[in-house]
């Protein structure tokens, strides 16, 4: 018997969250990128309560296959069980807390602690000790001292998410209507997706929210920040977003996705003709599977974040988690995602394209990293940090009459998703429980359905 993690005890609250995050007036404070006390609250109220990406099902082939990762700053191991299910455990021995798994991935019959030799099977049960006889007269109940299990784990289209909070809404409720859009990348072909290549780990000296918010809907920076690298390294300018005929910013809770319609070929890596050809080849089957609207989203100029720290760029197929490592540091976990059914040479071209653009040596990642590090560094100044930062672009752009799901805003040059991201962050910091998180959504739950309201509170 393993022990479940209890619901997180949220007893403390920042009294002045509204001062740091005043979304009705389109302002945030630079202090949220630097203060240690805010960071500690985030670990407790955001990372210990939200669904966090931990692995892709394609990384597991047989029982005992495991991935070691982190949820916030907590080390966890995700292990495939004999029945094909996945379970996640705290990667710390319940004796004195030593790590029990030091490898990033592999296959194991169990985990043995280096310190005093407690051993655990893949279901987390304590099955042996180096000096087992010594506990016999001490009322020791081995069934209570297995690896502590993460309360919830669930899969969405092959992506495994876990949650420390047993009282959290289900993953389906958490993603809400945003899943409809995410399917344009994660479910556009029969057979689903897989990771190609391994996980790249790197670090940046920046606050995790700056990176997550950049992907939730900041196309604004692309034509300026990335233009010279695109011209020098990729042979052309970054596409001018204001030239696109049709584009949207959509959000729900803190998740966001901004995309242009029918822009295959405008994404730098897709200048590679074989990838463009592949996307045009599959487009009719995507239309059959997901409908015309989403077939026009594939390979588009777009980016997305699933709150709090899982982001992806559909055009480049790069997937990343911004792992928090203090208020001023992140560890990036980066993968490349492809359709399982894609030809091998296409998978390889996608892998190379993503490496060339968004990896530690990628031309765009370096551009972004420099900006994000300075946004974080300037917030260390006591006076500078207190200045308001403007997040007001596109305040009048909500589409009231639309059949599209979620909260839909016209145009990508828009900070609607950034506002929703910081609002949800602020709501979570203030809320003692999920039932206290307000519903700020105004959009539809499903495409074309009668307007249906959804709140995390009601969804439970």
Judged by the rule CB under 5 A, the positions of this chain that interact with Fe ion are: 368
Residue 99 interacting with ligand FES (CB under 6 A): no
Burial of 382 (0-12, 13-18, 19+ CB in 10 A): exposed
Q: Which backbone phi and psi does 423 adopt, to 5 degrees?
A: -65, -45
Q: Can you give 33-73 as a three-state secondary structure string?
A: HCCHHHHHHHHHHHHCCCCEEEEEHHHCCCCCEEEEEEECC
Q: Which is nearer to ligand FES, 129 or 441 (CB)?
A: 129
Q: Which is nearer to ligand FES, 96 or 280 (CB)?
A: 96
Stretch that binds ligand FES, among 35-43, 93-101, 203-211, 368-376 (CB under 6 A): 93-101
> Considering the complex, what minimum distance in angstroms separates the CB of residue 139 from ligand FES?
18
- The per-type count for the chain, helices as H runs and strands as E runs, is 14, 21
Q: How many residues bind to ligand FES according to rule CB under 6 A?
A: 9
Stretch that binds ligand FES, among 108-116, 212-220, 329-337, 380-388 (CB under 6 A): 108-116
Which residues inside 115-134 make contact with ligand FES, applying CB under 6 A?
A: 115-118
Q: Can you give 322-357 as a three-state secondary structure string?
A: EEECCCCCEEEEEEEEEECCCCHHHHHHHHHHHHHH
Q: What's the token pair of residue 39? A: 């960071």
Q: Which does 368 bind (CB under 5 to 8 A by kind): ligand FES, Fe ion, none?
A: Fe ion
Q: Which is nearer to ligand FES, 126 or 267 (CB)?
A: 126
Q: Which is nearer to ligand FES, 127 or 366 (CB)?
A: 127
The 388-390 sheet, strands edge to edge: 21-22, 27-29, 388-390
> Considering the complex, what minimum distance in angstroms separates the CB of residue 146 from ligand FES?
12
Q: Which is nearer to Fe ion, 187 or 218 (CB)?
A: 218
> Considering the complex, what minimum distance in angstroms separates the CB of residue 55 from ligand FES?
24
Measured in Å, how far apart are the chain's first and last C-alpha atoms? Answer: 27
Residue 183 Cα to chain centre, angstroms: 15
Residue 234: HSE in the Cβ half-sphere, 13 Å Cα cutoff: 26
Q: Which does 358 bind (CB under 5 to 8 A by kind): Fe ion, ligand FES, none?
A: none
Q: Which does 156 bind (CB under 5 to 8 A by kind): ligand FES, Fe ion, none?
A: none
Buried b (16+ CB within 10 A) or exposed e, 128-157: ebeeeeeeeeeeeeeeebbbbbbbbbeebe
Q: Which is nearer to ligand FES, 132 or 273 (CB)?
A: 132
Residue 219 interacting with ligand FES (CB under 6 A): no
* CA-wise closest residue to 411 among 241, 286, 262, 278: 241
Tell me whether the omega of the peptide bond preceding residue 308 falls within 30 degrees of 0, making it cis: yes
Q: What's the token pair of residue 118? A: 């407690």
Q: Which does 118 bind (CB under 5 to 8 A by kind): Fe ion, ligand FES, none?
A: ligand FES
Residue 380 interacting with ligand FES (CB under 6 A): no
Q: Which does 96 bind (CB under 5 to 8 A by kind): Fe ion, ligand FES, none?
A: ligand FES
Q: Which does 93 bind (CB under 5 to 8 A by kind): ligand FES, Fe ion, none?
A: ligand FES
CA distance 230 to 226: 6
> Considering the complex, what minimum distance in angstroms separates the CB of residue 135 from ligand FES?
12
Q: Which does 121 bind (CB under 5 to 8 A by kind): Fe ion, ligand FES, none?
A: none
> Considering the complex, what minimum distance in angstroms separates the CB of residue 225 from Fe ion?
6
Q: Which is nearer to ligand FES, 19 or 116 (CB)?
A: 116
Q: Which is nearer to ligand FES, 77 or 354 (CB)?
A: 77
Burial of 302 (0-12, 13-18, 19+ CB in 10 A): buried
Q: Which does 115 bind (CB under 5 to 8 A by kind): Fe ion, ligand FES, none?
A: ligand FES
> Considering the complex, what minimum distance in angstroms separates the CB of residue 99 from ligand FES?
9
Residue 429 interacting with ligand FES (CB under 6 A): no
Q: Which is nearer to Fe ion, 219 or 338 (CB)?
A: 219
80: β partners: 86
Q: What's the token pair of residue 452? A: 């249906």
Stretch that binds ligand FES, among 25-33, 110-118, 253-261, 311-319 (CB under 6 A): 110-118
User: Is-contact 340 56, C-beta < 8 A?
Assistant: no
Buried b (16+ CB within 10 A) or exposed e, 217-238: bbbbebbebbeebbeeebeeeb
Q: Which does 445 bind (CB under 5 to 8 A by kind): Fe ion, ligand FES, none?
A: none
Q: Which is nearer to ligand FES, 50 or 147 (CB)?
A: 147
Stretch that binds ligand FES, among 91-99, 161-169, 339-347, 445-453 (CB under 6 A): 91-99
List residues near ligand FES by CB under 6 A.
93, 95-96, 98, 113, 115-118
């Amino acid at each position: 018997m393993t022990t479940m993690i209890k619901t997180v005890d949220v007893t403390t609250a920042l009294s002045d969250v509204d001062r740091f995050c005043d979304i009705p007036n389109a302002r945030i404070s630079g202090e949220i990128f630097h203060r240690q006390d805010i960071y500690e609250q985030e670990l407790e109220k955001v990372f210990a309560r939200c669904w966090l990406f931990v692995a892709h099902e394609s990384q597991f082939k047989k029982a005992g296959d495991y991935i070691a990762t982190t949820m916030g700053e907590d080390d966890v191991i995700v292990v495939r069980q004999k029945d094909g299910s996945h379970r996640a455990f705290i990667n710390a021995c319940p004796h004195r807390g030593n790590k029990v798994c030091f490898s990033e991935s592999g296959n194991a019959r169990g985990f043995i602690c280096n310190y005093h030799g407690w051993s655990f099977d893949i279901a987390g049960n304590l099955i042996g000790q180096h000096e087992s006889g010594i506990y016999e007269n001490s009322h020791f109940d081995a069934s209570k001292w297995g690896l502590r299990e993460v309360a919830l784990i669930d899969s969405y289209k092959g992506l495994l998410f876990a949650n420390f909070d047993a009282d959290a809404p289900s993953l389906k409720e958490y993603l809400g209507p945003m899943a409809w859009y995410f399917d344009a990348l994660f479910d556009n072909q029969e057979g689903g997706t897989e990771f190609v290549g391994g996980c790249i780990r790197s670090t940046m000296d920046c606050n995790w929210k700056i990176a997550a918010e950049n992907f939730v809907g900041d196309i604004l920076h692309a034509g300026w920040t990335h233009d010279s690298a695109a011209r020098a390294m990729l042979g052309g300018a970054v596409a001018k977003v204001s030239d696109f005929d049709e584009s949207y910013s959509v959000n729900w809770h803190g998740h966001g996705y901004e995309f242009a319609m029918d822009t295959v070929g405008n994404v730098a890596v897709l200048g590679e003709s074989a990838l463009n050809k592949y996307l045009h080849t599959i487009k009719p089957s995507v239309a059959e599977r997901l409908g015309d609207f989403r077939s026009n989203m594939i390979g588009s100029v777009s980016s997305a974040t699933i709150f709090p720290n899982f982001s992806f760029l559909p055009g480049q197929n790069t997937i990343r988690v911004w792992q928090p490592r203090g208020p001023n540091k992140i560890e990036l976990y980066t993968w490349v995602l492809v359709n399982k059914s894609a030809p091998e040479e296409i998978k390889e071209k996608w892998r190379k394209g993503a490496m060339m653009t968004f990896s530690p040596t990628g031309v765009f990642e370096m551009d972004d990293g420099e900006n994000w590090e300075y946004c974080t560094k300037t917030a260390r100044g006591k006076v500078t940090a207190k200045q308001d930062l403007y997040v007001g672009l596109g305040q009048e752009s909500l589409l009231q009459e639309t059949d599209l799901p979620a909260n839909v805003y016209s145009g990508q040059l828009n900070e609607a998703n950034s506002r929703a991201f910081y609002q949800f962050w602020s709501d979570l910091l203030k809320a003692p429980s999920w039932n206290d998180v307000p519903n700020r959504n105004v959009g539809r739950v499903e495409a074309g359905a009668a307007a249906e309201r959804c709140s995390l509170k009601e969804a439970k």
